Chains A and B, each alone.
Chain A
Amino acid sequence: MCLAASGTIVAITPQPDGDSLWLRARVDFGGVRQWVSLACLPQARVGDQVLVHVGLALSLVEHEL
């Protein structure tokens, strides 16, 4: 269940009205880049590693392992 991949945020689209409903980020998954919703991780910043499922970032991934 729940195939998710972690990638690194390379860019975040600016939100004119500060409404996180539409917040999006460009995420690099080991050489493959995709747009991802940041609506559930508004605190994420460029350079953060995030876990993404069906195009929604769900968790900040700590750098370890």
Chain B
Amino acid sequence: MNEAWTVMEVCGGQTQAILRWGLDQLLPDGMELVHGPGCPVCVTPAACIDQALQLALQEPVILCSYGDMLRVPGSPRPQGCGDLLQARAGGGDVRLITSPWQALELARQQPERQVVLLAVGFETTAPATALVVLQACRLGVANLTLLQAHVRVVPAMEAVLAAAGNRVQGFLAAGHVAAVMGSAELEQLVRRWRIPVVISGFEPQELLAALELCQQLLSAGTPRLINAYGRVVRPAGNGEAQVLMRRVFAPADGPWRGLGAIRSGVLRLRPAYRHLDAVGRFGLGDSGNGEAQTGSGAPDPGPPCHAAAVLQGRCRPSDCPSFGSACTPQNPLGAPMVSSEGACAAYYRYRR
């Protein structure tokens, strides 16, 4: 077995598990692992976080989001990048939630306040947001709005493959996205790009088994989809969750932090639910494509940042000259360093 294969695990949770368990030290011979863009917190556009920071400091607003979102910095500014924890210290009412229903509950308990849910995540998280939207509408809750940056994972995998200098020859696909979406989109990806994809779970043994399967497919030259997470993932996914998501959201072209615009890469509220969009409610102006690029592509020639190459698997976090010096989780230059699930942050935590 002399050939060296490059496989990407797409999902940040899997990146975290791989480094947490040191699986990169236990890889099958002749396999190189690169880490993918699958951290929705990292890829949330800086402009969206800027809007959240702005809203958090408005008097009637209670801004709710998940813990990993609270320390993601917005656009670089002269006084440094702000995050929501700093906005809270500055007087903003920022609440940590672990499920979107907590935001709905807060809105019902405090009708005199404006509750804004900063909703991020892949297709795993979007159904819960959609469900809360439908429940809020049914209950006539008027003081809950969304600042939402849901993204779609398969278009990002396509973007990785389409990028110049792509090295990825096989994918571990994100098991929890597949639990919702099933295998259809991934089947299409396999056919279109003739690349093997293995749907994997998150336990160390599951990840190692999935990597082994991927290597077998590569060695045999048989690009196929294998579901190695069958105890959770059904071929059709979760139909109810897909229906909910389609009712509330529609795919659109949109920005990923660090990667730029991705075709069909984001979800937008459908017109029937636009009245729940915090951008409109508070006159924030469209976050649209006005992403302030963090690191790569930024006009200021500061320390170099290879975020885009890391997100596309073209280089490892530790290959970047700023890694661990100019760029740390406390002072991130690029998207993959901003959340603990990002590849750079995971390297910093476990592999410095």
Q: Which A residues are closer than 8 A to B by beta carbons?
A: 1-4, 6, 20-22, 37, 39-42, 51, 53-56, 58-59, 61-65
Which of B101, B122, B234 contacts A55 (CB under 8 A)? B101
> Are the CB atoms of B232 and A61 closer together than 8 Å?
yes
Within 8 A of A (CB), among B8-52: 11-13, 38-40
Residues of B within 8 A of A54 (CB): 66, 98-100, 121, 125, 128
- 4 more A-B residue pairs beyond the given contacts A54-B125, A55-B128, A56-B241, with a C-beta to C-beta distance below 8 A: A1-B153, A21-B138, A55-B100, A62-B230
- 10 nearest CB pairs, A to B: A55-B99, A2-B124, A2-B176, A56-B128, A40-B240, A59-B179, A40-B241, A62-B231, A1-B12, A1-B38
Kindly state whether residue B262 has any CB partner on chain A within 8 Å.
no
> Are the CB atoms of A1 and B230 closer together than 8 Å?
no
Residues of B within 8 A of A55 (CB): 98-101, 128
> Are the CB atoms of B341 and A1 closer together than 8 Å?
yes
Residues of A within 8 A of B207 (CB): none
Residues of A within 8 A of B341 (CB): 1
Write the B118-132 contact mask toward A (1 if CB under 8 angstroms, else 0): 000110110110010
Residues of A within 8 A of B176 (CB): 1-2, 4, 51, 53, 58
> Are the CB atoms of A1 and B98 closer together than 8 Å?
no
Kindly state whether residue B233 has any CB partner on chain A within 8 Å.
yes
> Are the CB atoms of A59 and B234 closer together than 8 Å?
yes
Smallest CB gap from A3: residue in B: B13
The CA-CA distance from A51 to B244 in the complex, in Å, is: 18
Kindly state whether residue B134 has any CB partner on chain A within 8 Å.
yes
By secondary structure, the A interface counts as loop
Smallest CB gap from B244: residue in A: A40
In the complex, how many angstroms separate the beta carbon of B248 from the nearest chain A beta carbon? 13
> Are the CB atoms of B138 and A41 closer together than 8 Å?
no
Which of B40, B99, B127, B135 contacts A22 (CB under 8 A)? B135
Write the B174-185 contact mask toward A (1 if CB under 8 angstroms, else 0): 101101100000
Kindly state whether residue B238 has any CB partner on chain A within 8 Å.
yes
Given the known A-B contacts A21-B135, A42-B240, are A53 and B231 also in contact in the complex, defined by CB atoms under 8 Å?
A: no
Which of A1, A21, A37, A42 contacts B122 (CB under 8 A)? A1
Q: How large is the interface on B (under 10, 10 to 19, 20 to 34, 35 or more residues)?
A: 35 or more
- Some 12 contacts from A to B, beta carbons below 8 A apart, are A1-B121, A1-B153, A37-B101, A40-B131, A55-B99, A56-B127, A58-B180, A59-B232, A59-B238, A62-B232, A63-B231, A65-B231
Q: Which B residues are closer than 8 A to A by beta carbons?
A: 11-13, 38-40, 66, 98-101, 121-122, 124-125, 127-128, 131, 134-135, 138, 153, 174, 176-177, 179-180, 203, 230-234, 238, 240-241, 244, 341
The CA-CA distance from A41 to B122 in the complex, in Å, is: 19
In the complex, how many angstroms separate the beta carbon of A63 from the nearest chain B beta carbon? 8
Residues of B within 8 A of A61 (CB): 231-232
In the complex, how many angstroms separate the beta carbon of B260 from the nearest chain A beta carbon? 19
The CA-CA distance from A53 to B125 in the complex, in Å, is: 7
The CA-CA distance from A34 to B46 in the complex, in Å, is: 33
Residues of B within 8 A of A22 (CB): 135
Smallest CB gap from A51: residue in B: B232
Residues of A within 8 A of B233 (CB): 59
In the complex, how many angstroms separate the beta carbon of B293 from the nearest chain A beta carbon? 22
In the complex, how many angstroms separate the beta carbon of A2 from the nearest chain B beta carbon? 4
> Are the CB atoms of A37 and B131 closer together than 8 Å?
yes
In the complex, how many angstroms separate the beta carbon of B18 from the nearest chain A beta carbon? 13
Residues of A within 8 A of B40 (CB): 1-2
> Are the CB atoms of A53 and B124 closer together than 8 Å?
yes
> Are the CB atoms of A2 and B230 closer together than 8 Å?
no
